[in-house]
Amino acid sequence: MSQRTWARAFAPATVGNVICGFDVFGLALERPGDEVVARLRDEPGVVVTRVTGDDNRIPLQADRNTAGVAAQVLLARISSRQGIALEVHKGLPLSGGLGGSAASAVAAVIAVDCLLDAGVARETLLHCAAAGERIGAGAAHLDNAAPALYGGLVLVRPGDPPDLVQLPVPDGMACAVVHPHIEIETRNARRILGDSVPLANAVIQWSNTAALVAGLFRQDWDLISRALVDVVAEPLRSPLVPGFQAVKDAALHAGALGCGLSGSGPSMFALCRNLEIAERVGAAMQKAFADAASLPSEAYVSIVNRRGAKVREIGGW
């Protein structure tokens, strides 16, 4: 019988908040994403041997690396002294608002779990990935890690442990994400929000989050569209993204259900009824970034990813 000596896993980009659900809604995309390769090594502990796609900005020290920390916590949870070497291949832009820290952490725990054939429960893998994301983003944002791991559109109710509810995704629902060539640090984007929300705005936001859930269960496209309004974070964060309003207007004019920041930005996303509309919306958003802010950008268009992270390849001898 052959023994596994390495495993490669993929975790997708995610859209946090989904406009009205600050820190509680998140959805997974088909692409782009991060890959992590986990290999057996003789010495115990976790090392990160290589990171690509980061312009040498991500530390190789395992205790300062999101994938490295996630793998360390997983080994501790299963009481394993097995040595693991990680390679991290970034397909997501840094500080792009697409859940890059979460994707690396989730891909790491999926790869290590597969390599060791440990069969760890998804809830435990999420806990380990969250510990890794905390290193990269300054806090564990489960609205990125949960959809990256589980796929689909996820509602996260904070708690210990948190409640995770996988919401129904209407048939055909697609997403267009456009990443302009600027960066916004998540830590900085959170600082500007402050610690309080006016009661009137809170009531609007509560009603929109509830309406979005109802719209998803009923597959009511019009209600979904009406619910995709953010009166809490968007007014404070949108000035950080040049051309924000022009891009949002272009997306809605092209047929999007709603448009807003992906996570804390600078990427912007639009939910659409189908892939054809999403392709048209993505092109309109790119053009608006170029026309209104002279910003080049990348567009990613996909249906909502219902599967989440996955093992892509296993090797052995």
Write the pLDDT tens digit of every residue in 127-179. 999 999 888 666 677 999 999 999 999 999 988 888 999 999 999 999 999 99
Type of residue found at 180: P
Q: What is the pLDDT of residue 141?
A: 74
What residues does each domain of the chain span?
4-166+307-316, 174-303
Q: What is the pLDDT of residue 96?
A: 87
Mean pLDDT, residues 10-37:
96
DSSP string across 281-313: HHHHHHHHHHHHH---EEEEEEEB-SS-SEEEE
d(CA 212, CA 223): 7
Neighbours of 218 (CB within 10 A): 12
133 and 105 Cβ atoms separated by less than 8 Å: yes
Q: What is the pLDDT of residue 2?
A: 59
Type of residue found at 232: V
241 and 288 Cβ atoms separated by less than 8 Å: no
In percent, the amount of the chain with pLDDT more than 70 equals 97
Whether the per-residue pLDDT at 1 is higher than 70: the answer is no
- List pLDDT tens digits, range 201-211: 999 999 999 99
d(CA 141, CA 189): 13
d(CA 237, CA 250): 19
- List pLDDT tens digits, range 175-201: 999 999 998 877 777 788 888 999 999
Question: So what's the architecture of 174-303 in CATH?
Answer: 2-Layer Sandwich (3.30)
- List pLDDT tens digits, range 57-103: 999 999 999 999 999 999 999 999 999 999 999 999 988 889 999 99
Q: Is the CATH number 3.40.50.300 carried by domain 4-166+307-316?
A: no
In percent, the amount of the chain with pLDDT more than 90 equals 86
Structure tokens given for 77? 């949870």
Mean pLDDT, residues 301-317:
93
- Paired with 8 in beta bridges are 37, 313
